[in-house]
Structure 1
Amino acid sequence: MASIASPQRASNPGTKTVMPVLFAISLVHMLNDSMQAVVPALYAILEESLNLSMVQVGLIGFMLNMTSSVMQPVVGAYSDKRTLPNMLPMGMGLSLIGMVGLAFAPHFWVLLVAVVFIGLGSAIFHPEGSRVVYFAAGERRGFAQSVYQVGGNAGSTLGPLMTALVFVHLGQIGAIWGTLFAGLAIAVLFGLLPWYKRKLAEWEAERSRTASSRAGAAFVEKASHPRVKFAMGMLVFLVFARSWYHSGIGSFYQFYLKYDYGLTTQQAQIPVFVFLAAGVLGTFFGGVLADRFGLKNMIVFSIAGAAPLALILPHLSLFWAYPVIALLGFVILSGFSVTVVYAQFLMPSNVGMASGLTTGLAFGMGAIGGVALGQAIDMFGISNVMFVISFFPLVGLLAILLPSDRPLRLSRY
């Protein structure tokens, strides 16, 4: 790992962080993930209005995550070879269509089609959005990725609030408000396109010079080293395990609170909101701390460090559940943006694919967990499933096997 070339020199000649671009793409990330958050926010409403089973609820989440996640590395790999900046507003257009379909879907299968459109729009946005961040970051990679991911996590956090404030009162038709998110995102992206096209042209020119030099040839050979492949495989597996647990809390913990604690639908949104809101803070501070203490250290801390909190959560009284789930959200999501930066260090000439693998494919694999958990809840009950998934973060202990990123970080200086 110590011999891998610096991604800063290889792919991104700029060293200054472009804050206006960073904040703009973070805003779009928030709007995109807000649209995705509408889907799980409607779970409790749709369960009653369409008489859905837990398996069907899991299938909705599965379709959303599979389309939005599995397609990400495909889009990323394609855009690594052929730059298509106009894909950004086009993807948001698909999400807009999906929001309209979600608001007016009369039954389960139409609902799934609308969810696919929302997922595809997100799949197109994320790899290209990560590339925008890569160009705007300069040398502050952890900080930049955190700002970007905070936008996305903030959007996801809006889900429980939309349920409590909008969907409980308006029902499914309230999803039409999501079209405003899509419209604003499209407008911001059109404003970013001139800068993004210019940076893509510079990046392509730099990559061509690197590939034609002896140093560039050595770089490609080292980036395909078996240790790099092992590290990427391990990283995807860890994100997979984390996303299974996150899916359990984000999608089904509200039902656990309703059936085991006797909370109403509105009351059950509050702990879930606390979990997601704390995760926003964890995402930001995790990236900032990773710039100081190392990427691997933050990945180990974020996943394995959440294990004790996850283990005790199902056994707490309602009073203690609030602070513990807040701390759990902060810790487990403190490594969210860090995994993307770590992957980009490993694959600096394939930024889109690296981002797609860590925020896309791994989450698509985790979406399978949503279906499995829904089936398990129908068979064994919500209490038993919540107890079992509390052990999932223990998988994070495997993060100690990841190669150290310190040589990578020091190679920039």
Structure 2
Amino acid sequence: MSGAVQARSVQSQARTVLPVLFAISLVHMLNDSMQAVVPALYPILEQSLNLSFVQVGWIGFMLNMTSSVMQPVVGAVSDRKSMANVLPLGMALSLIGMVGIAFAPQFWWLLLAVVFIGLGSAIFHPEGSRVVYFAAGGRRGFAQSVYQVGGNAGSSLAPLMTVFIFVPLGQFGAIWGVLFAGLAIAILYGILPWYKKKLVEWDAERELRIAAKAGSMADNQENHPRMKFALGLLIFLVFARSWYHSGISSYYQFFLVEDYGLTVKEAQIPVFLFLGAGVLGTYFGGVLADRFGMKYMIVFSIAGGSPLALFLPHLPLFWTYPVIALLGFVILSGFSVTVVYAQYLMPTKVGMASGLTTGLAFGMGAIGAVALGKAADVFGLAPVMMFCSFLPLVGLCALLLPSDRKRT
């Protein structure tokens, strides 16, 4: 048996380390809560700093593009050289960014602050996914879903932070993020000894993989044209989902204010329902993927939300609430599954696989935020929401992905 296949076999037989899994999920929640501060502040910053929609888009672009560009780089480097100590370093950068947002006097200082948060997130996500990989044992879908539930739970806090922190406190309310960063750093230092031990074992297995690389089954499978096509298609699907997610999380609140006449506080409720239901969808999506297969969950999550997405901009206000909650559950049920599927396609490059899927998701969300913001300034919010409603239809392309149930 080759080194890579043996490593995966040993990994599948190991038990799930729940304390570490829950700890890194909590850190993921704290990390993404800090990122959520930025979109949560959009309505406040639009008024206090006199921002246009395209400037709001540029804030999201700088935050997400910074993390997306760096995540695959960090993942590729950490696949070759263990970097456990960068986990608390990434959180320290996010802490600096939170202080910067709280005190930023103008647009350009704000952009600099979100760059620090983006860099911190870029460092955390690939290494965090590796921690999950080690702690998963044979329950890969479950473990990744628990991890992503933490992140999506943190993101879903954005509307609540707007209502309870930023409306009464304004921009200075971002200083609360310092507490999130401090707690995350403390938790990371707690799991570092376990993680470093696992990395030593991983490095030993990596030597076996390098020695057996010529003729390795995993290596041949990774370089097979069909697997490369599948990875490219998976990234394309991540693009479509990220653009739609960016449209809902960044601009739907403005659409509700403009077209439905809601206040800023009232407009947070549907967005919170979308993100909050997405937390449940993320968990159940990973659990169901372990049972029914990753490909089918990806198809269901992206394409299955298409009818709901198409109806959403045309619904009366009463029906908006249940429909957007169900839409969030379905769309985000495949969020963790795409990461695990990418690791299935690249079993010897766990960090790179995680960086490509989660990192590029942030990056495409960043580009989408700018493009949709510019379109909203030019054409209005209603046409932008109509355009976004068609994006989940791209998920039908997931039917072309190879089944993950064929390889045993």
Scaled to the shorter chain, the TM-score interval is over 0.9
Please tell me whether the aligned partners of residues 218 and 347 of structure 2 are also in contact (alpha carbons under 8 angstroms).
no
- Find the counterpart in structure 2 of residue 356 from structure 1: 355
Q: CA deviation at 1:100?
A: 0.1
1:327 matched to 2:326? The reply is yes
- Find the counterpart in structure 2 of residue 181 from structure 1: 180
**2:333 alignment partner, SS class:** coil
Distance (whole Å) between structure 1 residues aligned to residue 261 and residue 298 of structure 2? 36
Q: CA deviation at 1:213?
A: 3.4
Please tell me whether the aligned partners of residues 238 and 360 of structure 2 are also in contact (alpha carbons under 8 angstroms).
no
Distance (whole Å) between structure 2 residues aligned to residue 177 and residue 7 of structure 1? 46
Cα deviations by residue, 1:319-365 (Å, 9 ceiling, x for unpaired):
00000000000000000000000000111111000000000023302
Distance (whole Å) between structure 2 residues aligned to residue 197 and residue 124 of structure 1? 16
Match of 1:32, as an amino acid?
A: N
Cα deviations by residue, 1:256-293 (Å, 9 ceiling, x for unpaired):
00000000000000100000000000000000000000
- Find the counterpart in structure 1 of residue 47 from structure 2: 48
Distance (whole Å) between structure 1 residues aligned to residue 379 and residue 151 of structure 2? 33
Cα deviations by residue, 1:219-238 (Å, 9 ceiling, x for unpaired):
31222111111111101110
Distance (whole Å) between structure 1 residues aligned to residue 314 and residue 41 of structure 2? 27
- Find the counterpart in structure 2 of residue 261 from structure 1: 260
- Find the counterpart in structure 2 of residue 73 from structure 1: 72
- Find the counterpart in structure 1 of residue 315 from structure 2: 316
- Find the counterpart in structure 2 of residue 105 from structure 1: 104
Please tell me whether the aligned partners of residues 30 and 155 of structure 1 are also in contact (alpha carbons under 8 angstroms).
yes
Match of 1:213, as an amino acid?
A: A
Distance (whole Å) between structure 1 residues aligned to residue 8 and residue 254 of structure 2? 49
Distance (whole Å) between structure 2 residues aligned to residue 7 and residue 289 of structure 1? 26
TM-score (norm 2): 0.97
Please tell me whether the aligned partners of residues 157 and 273 of structure 1 are also in contact (alpha carbons under 8 angstroms).
yes
1:61 matched to 2:60? The reply is yes
Say what the alpha-carbon RMSD is for the aligned residues: 1.6
Please tell me whether the aligned partners of residues 105 and 111 of structure 1 are also in contact (alpha carbons under 8 angstroms).
yes
Cα distance, 1:217–1:355 mapped onto 2, change above 3 Å:
same
Q: CA deviation at 1:6?
A: 4.8
In structure 2, runs of 5+ residues without a counterpart are none
Q: CA deviation at 1:15?
A: 1.5
Please tell me whether the aligned partners of residues 56 and 373 of structure 2 are also in contact (alpha carbons under 8 angstroms).
yes
Match of 1:211, as an amino acid?
A: I
Distance (whole Å) between structure 2 residues aligned to residue 350 and residue 218 of structure 1? 14
Q: How does 1:13-412 map to 2 (within 5 A)?
A: 15-213=14-212, 217-408=216-407, 411=408
**2:383 alignment partner, SS class:** helix
Please tell me whether the aligned partners of residues 66 and 364 of structure 1 are also in contact (alpha carbons under 8 angstroms).
yes
Please tell me whether the aligned partners of residues 213 and 219 of structure 2 are also in contact (alpha carbons under 8 angstroms).
no
Q: CA deviation at 1:8?
A: 5.6
Match of 1:311, as an amino acid?
A: L
Distance (whole Å) between structure 2 residues aligned to residue 9 and residue 119 of structure 1? 31
TM-score (norm 1): 0.96
Pick which of 9-18 and 184-193 moved more.
Answer: 9-18
Distance (whole Å) between structure 2 residues aligned to residue 263 and residue 7 of structure 1? 57
**1:334 alignment partner, SS class:** helix
| Identity, % of aligned positions | 76
Q: CA deviation at 1:12?
A: 3.2
Match of 1:99, as an amino acid?
A: M
Please tell me whether the aligned partners of residues 237 and 398 of structure 2 are also in contact (alpha carbons under 8 angstroms).
yes
Distance (whole Å) between structure 1 residues aligned to residue 103 and residue 179 of structure 2? 16
Please tell me whether the aligned partners of residues 11 and 349 of structure 1 are also in contact (alpha carbons under 8 angstroms).
no
Match of 2:261, as an amino acid?
A: G
Distance (whole Å) between structure 2 residues aligned to residue 218 and residue 359 of structure 1? 26
Distance (whole Å) between structure 2 residues aligned to residue 95 and residue 107 of structure 1? 19
Match of 2:105, as an amino acid?
A: P
**1:258 alignment partner, SS class:** helix
Distance (whole Å) between structure 2 residues aligned to residue 167 and residue 130 of structure 1? 31
Q: CA deviation at 1:150?
A: 0.1
Please tell me whether the aligned partners of residues 241 and 395 of structure 1 are also in contact (alpha carbons under 8 angstroms).
yes
Please tell me whether the aligned partners of residues 145 and 287 of structure 1 are also in contact (alpha carbons under 8 angstroms).
yes
Please tell me whether the aligned partners of residues 304 and 397 of structure 1 are also in contact (alpha carbons under 8 angstroms).
yes
Pick which of 153-162 and 210-219 moved more.
Answer: 210-219
Please tell me whether the aligned partners of residues 57 and 371 of structure 2 are also in contact (alpha carbons under 8 angstroms).
yes
Distance (whole Å) between structure 1 residues aligned to residue 357 and residue 31 of structure 2? 18
Please tell me whether the aligned partners of residues 7 and 349 of structure 1 are also in contact (alpha carbons under 8 angstroms).
no
Distance (whole Å) between structure 2 residues aligned to residue 145 and residue 212 of structure 1? 29
Q: CA deviation at 1:119?
A: 0.4
Q: CA deviation at 1:69?
A: 1.6
Cα deviations by residue, 1:178-197 (Å, 9 ceiling, x for unpaired):
00000000000001110000
Distance (whole Å) between structure 2 residues aligned to residue 77 and residue 210 of structure 1? 16
Please tell me whether the aligned partners of residues 239 and 363 of structure 1 are also in contact (alpha carbons under 8 angstroms).
no
Match of 1:169, as an amino acid?
A: P
In structure 1, runs of 5+ residues without a counterpart are none
